Amino acid sequence: MSTTQPSFITGVDFVTIPTNDFDASVEFYGTVLGLPRGKRWGSMPAMEFQAGALTIAVMDPTAFGQEFRPHSVPLAFQVDDVAAARDHLKEQGVTFVNEMIDSGVCHQAIFLDPAGNALDLHHRYAPQA
């Protein structure tokens, strides 16, 4: 019999998205996606954006002694209408890797940011089990 220990983790403060072009990423997340800008990390090439309750830190990892590698699995952004959001972003030149996926519980459309990170427009239409 296993005993569940209470977790010392109380939440998630932020997720990090790597970039190799800080200015292009700031424009993309702030203007194209329309996410409210948060704190800049001093003079470092890193800035926070707010997506609902989630803070996204866009940063150039090479300025912090790390290698740049884009995320290949998507961060999913919740939207009310995937098709409408996809069409809006396509009009702004955003590259999508698929049109739309219907999994039987949600709609999704995966796209790329300027650094090649995979992102996802996501809408769950089925009730939670």
**pLDDT tens digits, one per residue of 45-98:** 999 999 999 999 999 999 999 999 999 999 999 999 999 999 999 999 999 999
The architecture CATH gives domain 15-62+70-124: Roll (3.10)
pTM of the model: 0.90
Strand order in the sheet with 54-59: 15-18, 54-59, 46-51, 37-40
d(CA 76, CA 18) in angstroms, rounded, equals 16
